[in-house]
Amino acid sequence: MLNVQNITFSYTKKSADTPVLNNLNFSVNRGEHVSIIGESGSGKSTLLKVIYGEYDLNEGQIFWDDTEILGPKYNLVVGYDFMKNVAQEFDLMPFITVEENIGKHLSNFFPKEKKERVQELLEVVELEDFAKTKVKTLSGGQKQRVALARALANQPEIILLDEPFSHIDNFHKQSLRRSVFNYLKEKNIACIVATHDSEDVLAYADRMIVLHDSKIIANKSPQELYKNPQIPLTASFFGEFNLINDQIIYAHQLQRVEKSDLKIKVYRNYFKGHYYLIEGRTDDDIIFFENDSPLDLNQEICLKVAK
């Protein structure tokens, strides 16, 4: 189990009064999948780096079971065998092939096992056709997949992923995400994923940790946060939403009715595939709701919040 206990961190002594991470506490069980969400600059990447031991803490402690994760002041080489980190910079070897990169840290004493392991990982990240390709000729998304496979090669107990599919096109993203996250669950590898992408979170995360103003403001399952998102950023993970009388109301919660106090004029229709998102205007607000078909512009519509 990962135990993050009362950690506070600032990049410089000067900024210690306004730390990037301020007194954070949480734990992650073996095999558990935890997503870290928060606005840009809220400290998601910093948190992953601190957990990995890249920096010394101002205060607090981090443990994986009984092993304390120590920063560079106490550790000559950053990192531990049981933990891997896939940061936004991939740090691959450009002049050797994809399979050589993936197998880089696997023992050569067991060539058959090594070959099988590399093949298994090529399948997990869907790069079988690129095994013999030199990494320098790959696209950003392909490099990202090699970095993932290399991090998994020695079967870590916990993996830290920073925006793991950010360079990958939508076409490959869905199946790759399924493949990687299902693989981690199957092997009981804990993972912490910093992401802006709700698709990385909803179907996979056991818990979401929301960072805001240097603190954790929520640490709950996606289902619980969906019902009570607390802040607009969290709500945005679950779809388009409105703030009506200071309450977060999802677009799909608004229903058309004959009469109500909430009257809007249709301003714009957005095609969303199986439905349309309708932008309506009141005198001083913008309201979004969903409809099966586009609506006539300037038409007056009454809405109510569905129970």
Residues lying near ligand ATP in the complex (CB under 6 A) are found at 11, 20, 38, 40-46
Angle between helical axes of 111-124 and 170-186 (0-180°, round to 10): 130
Q: How far apart are CA 130 and CA 94, in angstroms?
A: 14
State which residue, 111 or 140, has the beta carbon closest to ligand ATP: 140
Minimum CB distance to ligand ATP smaller for 231 or for 277: 231
In whole angstroms, how large is the CA radius of gyration of the chain? 23
CA distance 135 to 230: 44
What are the distances in angstroms from CA 141 to CA 44, 70, 83, 164, 171?
21, 32, 23, 10, 12
Residue (of 24, 28, 43, 4) closest to 189 by Cα position: 28
Distance of CA 133 to the CA centre of its chain: 29
What is the token pair recorded at 137?
């000729």
Residue (78 or 277) nearer to ligand ATP, CB: 78
Nearer to ligand ATP, 55 or 288 (CB): 55
User: What SS3 state is found at 136?
Assistant: helix
Which CB sits closer to ligand ATP, 46 or 253?
Answer: 46
**Distances in whole angstroms, Cα of residue 265 to Cα of each of 145, 168, 268, 296:** 47, 39, 9, 10
* Inter-residue contact 221 to 206 (CB < 8 Å): yes
Any idea how long the chain is? 307
Please check whether residue 190 is in contact with residue 114, taking contact to mean a CB–CB distance below 8 angstroms: no
Residue 247: exposed, middle, or buried by beta-carbon count in 10 A (0-12, 13-18, 19+)? Answer: exposed
Minimal distance, residue 127 CB to ligand ATP, in Å? 25
Q: Which is nearer to ligand ATP, 42 or 242 (CB)?
A: 42
Q: Give the relative orientation of helices 111-124 and 140-152 as an angle to the nearest 10 degrees.
A: 130
Closer CB to ligand ATP, 237 or 289, in the complex: 237
